[in-house]
Structure 1
Amino acid sequence: MCVDIEIAGGLPPFDYYWEGGETTEDVCGYSSGEYQIIVTDDNDCYIATTVTITAPTADTIDLAASYNMCFHDTLTLDAGDYVLFDWSPNEEETQTIDIYDPGLYSVTVTDENSCTTSASTTVNESADINMLVSDTVHICSEESIAFTVPGFTDYMWSNVSIASTYTTSQEGYHWLWAYDGSCYYFDTVFIENYPKYDVSIGEDAFVCEGDSVLIDAAADAFASYLWQDNSTESYFWAFETGNVSVMATDTNGCVTSDELLVTLMAAEIIELGENATYCAADPILLDPQDQGADNTYLWSTGQTSATITVDETNQYWVNVTNPAGCVTSDTITLTIYEQPILELGEDISFCEGGSDTIWVIGDYITYEWNVDETSDYIYVDSSGFFSVTATDVNGCSATDYIIVYESDLEEPFLGYDTVLCNNEIYRLEPQEDYYRYQWQNGTMGPYISVSQPGAYALTVTDQVGCTASSSINIDYTTGPTILSIDSGGGQIIVGVTGGTTPYQFSYDGDTWQTEHYFTMLSSGLYTVYVMDANYCMVSLETFLDETIDVPAFFTPNGDGYNDYWVIQGLYQFPDAKVQIFDRYGKKLYEFTGGTEFVWDGNYVGRPLPSDTYWYSIKLEKNRKPFTGHVTIKR
């Protein structure tokens, strides 16, 4: 221990005299006890005193003999409030240290008096708890697993669940924090699916009636099987309609399943028919008459179509397979004779009164005609349809027909004897069409043009070669002649001579009359026609440039429409005179013109009754008047 002396008063410097012979102010290395010291100043004044040294008591470090630390946790050790620290075994020199591992830890501390003391403690770590049993867990695909961890107060799973039981079907890492009231524990598990194996027993199947079908589920991945009937083989024989299902368990205990529908298929009903004999001009059709649209076929000829045609005597068979693979067979024996061919020849034609014989050529034993004859020929003398069926020694029949045509050629009609006008060209032509023509002058066409009098004959021939003839007499006569045409004042007067009376007259070629004059015509160019009793015709053009319009009626009833009798064009004739008479010849009205003529239907200022009245119109002094009638309608 050390002693530190402090002097109060006196005159320095001071001298020190210790009991042990030391002469310094402060001394060290003394143990507990009393020690004498004399101190003198510069005036040689002194003081003597006794110094008592008492040793200090060392402090105790506050460390427990042992500590418990949670697994994977941290513990802090605190040595207390000292000046110096020396920890072991980690050689740290701080008041506190963090402990990560269990073990014996010690510390030496020095206080402010330089006193030292030491202490040690044992740190124990709680054991790790494997809460999730295994680091990796395998489960079957599409299945789930449940982890139950009892004995803790609090839980936190990777899906934020806080229950003691955790269920999942997800692959990957999953974790758990659990607290038991003292420590938190952490654990992880990796969930991995076993390889997935799917059992397959194929598509829906068909089984033929009276047969069975094998349904096989065998695969290396599976250890056991369970069918719908509780059988445990890797295969199943099905022989009736129904659902077939299997559950297969693989070597990891995972279960998969599959199912299909088995349909019992009846065999096709086919019928080629009874054995038969045919007279075949064409191949014979063989048809099994099955009803399956998706069936397949195999014939004895090697063909695979639904039907075949054959033309030889033979035995034929067919196998019909339906979509289920069911096979049905049938056989038929055919005897096929060649079909005879019967030809009566070309159709027959002959002229009226002719005849012919129709023969059947070939080796036949019976004949049947449609005219009730049974020999190999018939005699025909009229038009008709004739057919025959002939049968040979094999019983094969053939039929043919022939048409017989008896010509009914009629005489050509050229018309009746005719009188023609001078210089007229007449066309002779029969009413019907013929195959060939022959006129008396050698002309071969269907018609001739006649310009001379005489007898004309025609011979015609049809396609059969039959002929017919007829003739006609043609005479010529002199026609009429137009001597004069007087036109003016809306009328045309014709003078005629010659020809054969009576005459017919026309100014347009369509409308004919027996009068030789035309009235009430408008101005224009006219062709006047004259035709005599022999239809000889002559024509001449004339121009009419004076026209008046005389209405046939008017209606003076005051309605403002057609109230006046107006003769249009009369102004062209300043000397014109118009007179109107009743049916008794009484003159009712007279007009002398130069202006338009207008009459209101009145007599001495009074309306005349509805009736027909006569008029006389004289256009010029030297011209004859023309007359007519006009009707008043009220």
Structure 2
Amino acid sequence: MKKTSSYNSIFVIVFAIMLLGTHFLGAQVLDKPTTVWTAACASDSFNSYDVSFRWSPPLVDSGNEFILELSDSNGNFGSPRELSRVGDRNTDFNFDFNFAVPTDVSGENYKLRVRSTSPAKTSPATDAYPMHYVQFNSPLLISEDGNGSIPSGGVIQSCGGGSVTLSPHNIPNANTYTYNWYRSGTLLAEKTENLTVSTPGMYYVELDYGSVCSGSANTLSNSIEISTGSSVGIAITGSDDIGLCPGDSHALQANITGLGLTYTWYKDGAIVAGPTLEADTYNVNTSITGYEGSYEVEVEGAAACLERSPSITIRNLGDFTVTRQNDGDIVLLPSQIKTLSVTTTATAPSYQWYKDGVPISGATNSSLAVDLIGVYFARVIENGGGCAASPLDSETTTVVSPDSFEFEIDYVGSYTSCQSGGATLSLSAINAVSSSGARTDVTSDIESSFSYQWVNDGGDISGETSKTITVSNFEENGSYTLNGVLDSFTPTSNGLDVTLSTNQVLEITTNGTVLCDGADPIVFNSSESLADETFEWLRDGVIIDTSSENITATEVGVYQLVIRTHDCPITSNEVTIREFDESLLTLDKEQDLVIIEGETETLTASGAESYQWYDSNNTLLGEQSFFNFEQEGEYLLVASFGNCNTSRVVTVTFRDTFSIPNVITANGDGINDLWVLPNTYSRNQDVVVTIFDERGRQVFSQSNYENNWPQSTTSFNKPNMIFYYKVTRGGQSLKQGTITVIR
């Protein structure tokens, strides 16, 4: 015995192995390997096992390794798993392997074997045995639907042929395990995490770790007793809505009696009596405050399910409410009639309205029409249920007439002084003002009764007699109010100022926007005369001049002009003055252009105010921001920034459409017989093509090369000859290389 697990399971395996082959002295016969074991029940707290192994000489090779292998859960070695490997026991005929059970191993028919690598031999396998890695080894907790609530006494009742589903609720990833479910000690066939039952009995569960490890894993759960019964249809007899007066006697009666049941009575969900055997009635105590509420009865017994009745309502007939329907006090406007009303929870109410504390003759309804000022309320008496209840008065409503009215006007929509080009003003509220100064909004009641007149700076505006006015011209700027007339009332609104922007456009211009040494001064001019105007010249938002109609820019910055003579300042456009910098001129391509002969390449400049394109003869080619190049040569771009100039040199060269060949076949077949150069170097009077033989002797030299070398194939006396070439222009080398002539 080598190791003992935490589950008191022992695992000892002894191999007697015969390794056959030419490296051994002979065929040595050993007894069948025997294994003494119970099971391998590994876990994170114990996972170390030894296997004894014995073999016979002759010796294995020096580089040999012995490997302990594990089958699959069915005992097959189609894809064995290596558990342990040793390479230092090649002269030890009896030694131990130590291994750990893999964490994903779980089964009843695992086998072990040993394999040597040199020579390659395999031992017989052991008999099958259980091997499990126990992932979870704590007692399970089960509850109905795995909700975590274990019932009191561990009993769940299933009524009327229903079923109950039991599930563990304290194990992570519960659906990844298999289970052993038991009913009253009998193992059930179900292996899943959920068990739905309807048969009475004592239920519990454990994780299925096989025939030996299941018990030693210590996962056996709590027990849940499932009991069955039938519904008795419990209810409280009589009406489900009962009105009682304080002091009335009333007993609630259950509809099921005489079955030996236990009764529990509830009010508003709380127990008020029981549980008591055969207590099928409950006397409502109406002498205490708060007896009204919702009542239920619950029964249970040997032959019945735990069952609660539908609820009934008991009301206090002497306890009712009266609610005023109008919101607060009322302002009675000229020629108006207002209606007051109340509601009540009384069962059989009667009404009496009062004005200034005196009953109003004939005012015995829930509502009252009033056309006089005063203080009103309704008195309600409960006439039903036999209760001697006191009358209950509603809240009072004070009806007043206004001492005066006031108007409130406001802007409609968005309006910003000196920015908006128009403004709409409208009546927003009419307030009735009492003698005490209290204000009541009466807009919806009386706005159509007034006549209106809009006023600007104290003068009536002809034709503006509605509740709304729109101002669309800056010449109509001013302070606006709204007057009204109704009978003897002549209210005036608050004042609103309207200051619209003018439609005058102010623009400043300059003769340049870039400062540079030696250039003419940059002078600002205004599109509007500044004579008799109050104005400000600004640079970067700071006033720099208030008297000069024209100014000269001496510093970089953002310049602007503001005229302040009118209601709203008139602000000009902004002009940015920059310090001259050649980087202000940008090109969309490189200055050295390479184009294909016969095609066009466009170069575009930006950042300057004007442009001029010149060729190498100083001929003006164009004055746009771009130019289309078609010919080789050097070009000049002159860009102007007001009084400042900068230039760029643009070089245009043709791109070769093919490379210079280095092999020709001068055999007279008309194919590749001639050395043909690209257009860049052929037929050009300025380009000289010179060819030398392998000894450096010049054999050909020509300007305006016609692609005509060699002129004869008879000068080549060898199958393969090498020549050297040089292409020059004005004495400067353009290209050079070798030519191989094949005959």
Q: TM-score, normalised by structure 2?
A: 0.27
Structure with bigger gyration radius: 1
